[in-house]
Amino acid sequence: MAESGDRVSLTASGLSIGDTLVPLLAGSVHYWRLERRDWRACLTALRRTGFRLVDVYVPWSVHEQDAGRFDFGTTDPRLAVADFLHLAHELELYAIVRPGPHINAELTCFGIPERVIWDPFCQAKSARGNPVVLPALPLMFPVPSYASQAYIDEAVRWLTAVARELAPLCHPHGPIVLSQIDNEGALYFRDGPFDQDYHPDAIALYRGLLRDKYTTLDALARAYQLTDLRFADIEPPHRFEAERIADLPRYLDWLEAQEELVAAALRRFAKALEEGGVQLPTSHNFPLAHETTPLDLARVGGAVEVVGYDYYYRAGATQRAEVARRTSELALYGATRGVPAFACEMGAGFPPFFPPLSERDSAFTVLCALAYGLKGFNAYMAVERDRWIGAPIDMHGRMRTFADFWRRLNAAIERTGLHRLRRRVPVRLLVPRIERRLARLLHAFGSASPALLAVMGHGVRERCFEQELDLGHPLVLDAEAFARAFEEALEARGIPFACCDDGDLEALRSDARWIVCATSGILSRGLTDTLSTAAAAGVKVTLGPHETRFDSEMRPMDPPRALELLTAIDPARIDRAVARAVETQNLPSLACDPEGIHATVHEDESGRPRVLFAINASDRDVVARITIDVDARWEDVLDAGSADSELGTLEVRLLPWTVRMLART
């Protein structure tokens, strides 16, 4: 057991390692894809680029020779992961290890051995009992079931074996300070509501969830408006056939069961690593458009300590808005939990079968994410390898021109202490978890992943059924339009806000002055009580565009009387509501001119502005005017130049699709 001074713990700013705060500035290197003679040069280049940690996948399928027999360098010297990590330790790098069992990494079958992939007992099942196949490059394959006990047993055997190899290298004896559990647990991108998982073990988990939730058959029968039900043989729905609001509970319970089976598997995997001796903080990463998948931030956050997001975006206005939504949610969650808002994968290059991402795209994305509250990132990939294009360091450790950007960025973060600063967000733009479930439920494109359509830029209006049931208005569509209208009105006035759901009620209330809740008219009683309590404590709470009529189990509910109701999706009325809130709630503003320019400010513990980001997501070369209530000199910490804010205004030139990071001198 490590002494208290040697322990690794998490803070909102990064990792506390002994008495040292280490920002999470990591870069991915795949040792097994490199010649062993190049390891030192690649790790040395990583350190010179300013990264503090090396991020290391440990692929099951690569190390397994036969069932239960693994090669960690005995036969193939490139597989000596312990030697690679010893070298990282020698070069004063910390390490994040990611042993899966699922790693993706553009490996065929995502790093899971083919004998497991083709085992019928391990495979996820469709509603007809067939294997669920992912059409991935270079070879489509049947995906495993997160609920299958056969698959979990195989995965635990692997994790136990790899833990024995990694445990002696955990801090303080070696460089490992963080371990990731699995990878992008969105049901292998076969995440439609009725796409999977009808594996017998998944159905058993679903029935267990119903038993825990409803306790008695009478309660279940009332919720489902059915008779002659038994927990032991109730079947999950195979398609959406609801005609009334009262029909929804059985569908929503099925979606919740999908969320729980992923979280339950992550808990099993984490336990296997811990029992094998890897007793360190854990993480898990969410892919793009995670809100359309069964990944629930609060639920997965109960299985691992750090939930991180993946970022692969082009530079542009739509992408900036999406980065702002996701990162503000992650930053709020992290600040409340006392863990860093971390990008487990921050794109540096791209796989050859994805749309290309330029160096400008990657720079724009990481700076936007930092602007909206990200505290650390893992540059994926930092070092080139097969099935990847555009990494800043090549496979022999030679630094490309793109490495200079990452070197300057890492140095700027360390010099300004950005990871220790805080972006105040007094406004919460709340889309309850039930709205996200309803959006999944009403997905209109069958087995095509809702996440895929979201990544393509389609919102619920483009990808969801316009179902009204007996509400008299479309589910989901109005709520999203309401949220987007408020988002635009807040950004037009430069008012900082964080997107969130109601999975963490403490994060929702913490430091909030105004909560705007987008709802189709269905709210959980717990959320309703939280909003009423916040309003009684002086927080402004606005609901819309529909009055609350049902709770989360579709039981009629009286609308809360103490909360403001705004029923119109009218930009003019919403703008007036924002203007009133600015006055009554004393909301800060960082207004920008011309339109389309955005800015964020980050403060130290005393509330003094220290770092400002100016964002141009357009194709125009502009001189931006930013309203900031401080007169000071601001230095561009990435590029040469400085600017003065005088009489409450800062003027800076912004090239197309760029972000400037300015530090107060």
pLDDT in tens, 470-523: 898 999 999 999 999 999 999 999 999 999 999 888 888 889 999 999 999 999
| pLDDT cut 90: percent of the chain above it | 90
Amino acid (1-letter code) at residue 436 = R
| Contact by Cβ (8 Å): 80, 72 | yes
Q: What is the pLDDT at residue 2?
A: 43
**What is the average pLDDT across 531-554?**
94
607: alpha, beta or left? (left if phi > 0; alpha if psi -120 to 50): left
Q: Over the stretch 645-656, which tens digit does the pLDDT of each residue have?
A: 998 899 999 999
Q: What is the pLDDT at residue 227?
A: 86
Residue 581 has pLDDT above 80, yes or no: yes
Query: Lowest-confidence range among 4-13, 241-250, 325-334, 577-586?
Result: 4-13
Report d(CA 57, CA 63) in Å as an integer. Answer: 11
Q: What is the pLDDT at residue 1?
A: 34
Question: How many residues are recorded in the chain?
Answer: 665
Amino acid (1-letter code) at residue 544 = G
Q: In terms of CATH architecture, what is 427-584?
A: 3-Layer(aba) Sandwich (3.40)
| Contact by Cβ (8 Å): 518, 434 | no
Report d(CA 196, CA 192) in Å as an integer. Answer: 7
Among the listed residues 549, 494, 570, 464, the one whose alpha carbon sits nearest the alpha carbon of residue 192: 464
Task: For CA atoms 313, 318, 323, 326, give the dihedral sign.
Answer: negative
**What is the average pLDDT across 60-67?**
96
Helix (H) or strand (E) holding 331: helix 317-337
Q: What is the pLDDT at residue 124?
A: 98
Which backbone phi and psi does 518 adopt, to 5 degrees?
-90, 125
The whole model's pTM is what? 0.96
Residue 613 has pLDDT above 70, yes or no: yes
Q: Over the stretch 314-364, which tens digit does the pLDDT of each residue have?
A: 999 999 999 999 999 999 999 999 999 999 999 999 999 889 999 999 999
Which backbone phi and psi does 345 adopt, to 5 degrees?
-140, 110
Coil/strand/helix, residue 108:
helix
User: Does the N-terminal peptide bond of residue 294 adopt cis geometry, omega within 30 degrees of 0?
Assistant: no
**What is the average pLDDT across 605-617?**
97
Burial of 532 (0-12, 13-18, 19+ CB in 10 A): middle
Q: What is the pLDDT at residue 455?
A: 83
Query: Lowest-confidence range among 195-199, 368-372, 450-454?
Result: 450-454
Q: Over the range 619-633, which residues count as b (16 or more CB within 10 Å of their CB) and which as e?
A: eeebebebbbeeebe
Burial of 353 (0-12, 13-18, 19+ CB in 10 A): exposed
Coil/strand/helix, residue 52:
coil
Burial of 217 (0-12, 13-18, 19+ CB in 10 A): middle
Q: In terms of CATH architecture, what is 592-664?
A: Sandwich (2.60)
Query: Lowest-confidence range among 5-9, 50-54, 298-302, 524-528?
Result: 5-9
Coil/strand/helix, residue 377:
strand
Residue 454 has pLDDT above 90, yes or no: no
Among the listed residues 259, 234, 265, the one whose alpha carbon sits nearest the alpha carbon of residue 156: 265
Domain coordinates in residue numbering, the chain: 22-202+255-420, 427-584, 592-664
DSSP string, 613-665: EEEE-SSS-EEEEEE-S--EEEEESSSS-EEEEETTEEEEEE-TTEEEEEEE-
Please tell me if the domain spanning 427-584 has the same topology as the one spanning 592-664: no
Residue 548 has pLDDT above 70, yes or no: yes
**What is the average pLDDT across 31-44?**
98
Radius of gyration of the chain (CA): 25
495: alpha, beta or left? (left if phi > 0; alpha if psi -120 to 50): beta
Q: What is the number of alpha carbons within 13 Å of residue 615 lying toward its C-beta?
A: 30
**What is the average pLDDT across 430-439?**
96
The DSSP output letter for 495 is -
More confident site: 652 or 452: 652
Is 22-202+255-420 CATH 3.20.20.80?
yes
| Contact by Cβ (8 Å): 335, 12 | yes
Cβ neighbours of 529 (radius 10 Å) = 13
Query: Lowest-confidence range among 194-208, 215-229, 412-426?
Result: 215-229
| Contact by Cβ (8 Å): 282, 179 | yes
The DSSP output letter for 109 is G
The pLDDT confidence band at residue 5, using thresholds 50, 70 and 90, is: low
